[in-house]
Structure 1
């Protein structure tokens, strides 16, 4: 946008006559009018043109018109800057050969890109050299006795935490509890008080609502930006419970853990991540919603940790191909790609290839919703799951367990028998297979993919060399002949697709191989 500040009157006159800039000015007027709606509680004056003086100049607006100043004055005393001292010692296995390049899909790459790390940035890992690091972030006080909220990644591995108030005073603080899965942390100021505090909003914002972000970008201290809620329910692949608010109020490095307010001064979200090709704000920020944060923070305050319900399954979305192969009418629910041994799900009779359609009478749209519903119920709770099982709906009663810190899935496959006269049948899908026991380093069960035609159906579905087919059409397979037999039987039965259960690396998932596309 053109900067017209400090220009002479002739420049301003040209600006006023420019059609393009008048349109931009109109847009600005409508936006400001939106602020007036929030402040005045009505729509009167939204389309009203301000009175003009006889000279033709625009008359001054009333004091505080279209301003967020009252909201900011109300909340800024509860927003704090956080400085963290982190003492680390590099692991003996770390290399000191210089910068190392992280791949784009490396989890560390996603971590370092939060609030500013550029994609592909080299990071130096030093060998056995203790060092002290300083980190900065933001937070907000939620009680008069000094409990405050921030992101887990702001205080992770902290040895010392210092809080700077809006008036510049500082206080030491301690970490009460953290939750890595939602990236939230609860702290307590050790001295002083009573403190000014803010509360969580009682209802979520709507897309298009005004919001105000307050925080400590780049260590500058209390900084206020404004924008709107751009979207809800965003999944940014940071965890199983992703349900972020997307906002366009500018947030940058140092805003982590800071609050986003509605126009009533209530917290609607916690700034956590940004999408940034350049490292700075491009108007796409992500907030943990207040309704999710409220429950997590309450658990951290009472127990110092968060316990969640768990059924012990790996799940994936139901695509149209998968729905066709299972005889489902819709693409809702969560497909069970694997069940853990002795887990609540396996004990109840749920097996791989089932689709979980509902929890306690509420439908499940997809894997993320199922994960959130089960987690929210908590451990040792009886849940009723509606499942598509062996071609029909069935209800399973499951007693939920406690979500472990690290889940390890197991895939047990029987060997079985079958003919190996299958090369031509499998070639029509662009696949070359071999028994896993014939491939050095392969897993003990299943059939290994040894070659994939890049133009074949299998490649289009993402199969690659080294993947292991554990099941085909719900049957355990141990030889290429068994896979070919299942594919042939499905074709004869007029099926559109067949489900393959694939182990790729440490993960297990299903792939629907379309039979009609085989050449």
Structure 2
């Protein structure tokens, strides 16, 4: 009834104030046409100078085929210039820009255009395709640029109003508004974090790398992807949280990359059946299946069947949440980990460590006349699992690459684990090579937690 009264006032153009019930006045609801008027203009004027448009030029080598080639005549090669556009955000006064890695991937030339239409050349400082983030720096000037401060993305709540600013379809400095639809949305296949802020602010092609801004004028995310069956906005956009951006800035400017710390345990998601068995009120968290000797988990006192439900007061509901939380933390940091053990909640102090490369990876490409020809394999280790963005580590052999058109591509793909050959377990690359030399009739492949056999004739 209160909303209807306010709406009626606006529609009728009535200049008089509507008398609202005392409860409504206590809630701070508007009681006049003047109080209904609002604008994001002051906020946009404040933050838009720090959002830039990015234009890239990429030269691609192409092969031109003659319409009627003669035997032995070489085909003519050529080059094709490709242009693309995107957005970026100035995060330091020295011209440091954050954008998406896919915006500048393979670019030979990068130019940025400021809100005042000035153009500058920019240099790629570093990029991390796993998180789809890149750092650029404006060159050729000592000017101090406007920039956005980063806000703790964990402070954002569903329903908070946000603005998306970027360069959709080449339309410079476009501003859209919306709310935060979800703060812990897992969207598989977009990047290694798979953990995003979701918003219904209109995001379209060209918005990638642009700013998602809170009403206090601080950056809470980098617009990264949309869910759409048509290519246009349908009100489901995803932004990489600022806490990941902050780590990218801190590590990338020092010449490093984001390393997700290792807990030293293997885990599985809590299902409804497991939740009932562990006495949990709902299916949430990760069950510790194995604690590796001399790892951080063992040192902290974690045990098999402990259920990890939180890190640093942040809930852990699934693997994506754990990957995200670890991605925002530094190696050698000690953090409180909340667990359920025997139906009781406990907190252990765990010192995070860099994932070790043990055993050594022993990168090898398989060749010859056999089903795995063209596949490159390594020994699995915590370090390899971290690089590949895998949720957990288990000993064995993992496919890291398959040559285009290779025979092995019919059966395996990067990320698959080779668990057995001809019914016999293989634990190292050396084991696999021996089995391959003796002939392969069948293999067991591990993929996305499922093991399936492949038979060869």
TM value normalised by structure 2: 0.62
Aligned counterpart, 1:462 = none
Given candidates 293, 316, 319, the residue that maps to 2:268 is 316
Aligned counterpart, 1:197 = 147
1:338/1:410 contact within 8 Å kept: no
Matched, 1:165 2:117: no
Aligned counterpart, 2:171 = 220
Offset at residue 205 of structure 1 (A):
2.6
Partner secondary structure for residue 187 of structure 2: coil
- Gapped regions of structure 1 (runs ≥ 5): 1-21, 30-41, 51-60, 97-126, 413-435, 447-502, 511-519
Map 1:11-90 to 2 at 5 A: 46-48=30-32, 50=33, 65-88=37-60
Task: Tell me, in whole angstroms, the C-alpha distance in 2 between the residues paired with 1:444 and 1:85.
Answer: 51
Aligned counterpart, 2:217 = 265
Task: Tell me, in whole angstroms, the C-alpha distance in 2 between the residues paired with 1:267 and 1:160.
Answer: 27
Task: Tell me, in whole angstroms, the C-alpha distance in 2 between the residues paired with 1:131 and 1:24.
Answer: 59
Partner secondary structure for residue 371 of structure 1: helix
Task: Tell me, in whole angstroms, the C-alpha distance in 2 between the residues paired with 1:382 and 1:74.
Answer: 38
**Greater gyration radius:** 1
Matched, 1:281 2:233: yes
Task: Tell me, in whole angstroms, the C-alpha distance in 2 between the residues paired with 1:271 and 1:28.
Answer: 34
Task: Tell me, in whole angstroms, the C-alpha distance in 2 between the residues paired with 1:185 and 1:297.
Answer: 9
Structure 1 residues 180 and 28: alpha-carbon distance in aligned structure 2, compared to 1, 3 A threshold: farther
Task: Tell me, in whole angstroms, the C-alpha distance in 1 between the residues paired with 2:345 and 2:424.
Answer: 33
Partner secondary structure for residue 174 of structure 1: strand
TM value normalised by structure 1: 0.56
Partner secondary structure for residue 182 of structure 1: coil
Task: Tell me, in whole angstroms, the C-alpha distance in 1 between the residues paired with 2:310 and 2:37.
Answer: 49
2:198/2:237 contact within 8 Å kept: yes
Partner secondary structure for residue 424 of structure 2: coil
Given candidates 303, 315, 325, the residue that maps to 2:255 is 303
Task: Tell me, in whole angstroms, the C-alpha distance in 1 between the residues paired with 2:219 and 2:10.
Answer: 26
Structure 1 residues 205 and 88: alpha-carbon distance in aligned structure 2, compared to 1, 3 A threshold: same
Aligned counterpart, 2:388 = 406
Matched, 1:256 2:256: no
2:266/2:291 contact within 8 Å kept: yes
Given candidates 320, 324, 339, the residue that maps to 1:368 is 320
1:359/1:373 contact within 8 Å kept: no
Map 1:96-107 to 2 at 5 A: none
1:338/1:509 contact within 8 Å kept: no
Structure 1 residues 348 and 406: alpha-carbon distance in aligned structure 2, compared to 1, 3 A threshold: farther
| Residues 340-374 of structure 1: CA deviation (Å, up to 9, x unaligned) | 9x994798799997555267786744323333344
2:89/2:211 contact within 8 Å kept: yes
- Gapped regions of structure 2 (runs ≥ 5): 12-25, 66-75, 356-382, 397-418, 427-443, 452-457
Aligned counterpart, 2:88 = 139
Map 1:111-150 to 2 at 5 A: 131-150=80-99
RMSD: 4.5
Partner secondary structure for residue 70 of structure 1: helix
Offset at residue 65 of structure 1 (A):
3.8
Partner secondary structure for residue 254 of structure 2: helix
Aligned counterpart, 1:506 = 447
1:385/1:396 contact within 8 Å kept: yes
Task: Tell me, in whole angstroms, the C-alpha distance in 1 between the residues paired with 2:159 and 2:446.
Answer: 42
Offset at residue 396 of structure 1 (A):
10
Task: Tell me, in whole angstroms, the C-alpha distance in 1 between the residues paired with 2:77 and 2:265.
Answer: 39
Offset at residue 389 of structure 1 (A):
9.4
2:296/2:350 contact within 8 Å kept: no
1:208/1:229 contact within 8 Å kept: yes
Task: Tell me, in whole angstroms, the C-alpha distance in 2 between the residues paired with 1:312 and 1:70.
Answer: 49
Structure 1 residues 66 and 386: alpha-carbon distance in aligned structure 2, compared to 1, 3 A threshold: closer
Aligned counterpart, 2:360 = none
1:337/1:509 contact within 8 Å kept: no
Aligned counterpart, 2:364 = none
Offset at residue 72 of structure 1 (A):
1.2
Offset at residue 71 of structure 1 (A):
1.2
Partner secondary structure for residue 214 of structure 1: strand
Map 1:150-161 to 2 at 5 A: 150-161=99-110
Given candidates 179, 183, 186, the residue that maps to 1:232 is 183
Structure 1 residues 410 and 243: alpha-carbon distance in aligned structure 2, compared to 1, 3 A threshold: closer
Task: Tell me, in whole angstroms, the C-alpha distance in 2 between the residues paired with 1:134 and 1:320.
Answer: 50
1:178/1:304 contact within 8 Å kept: no
Task: Tell me, in whole angstroms, the C-alpha distance in 1 between the residues paired with 2:325 and 2:121.
Answer: 37
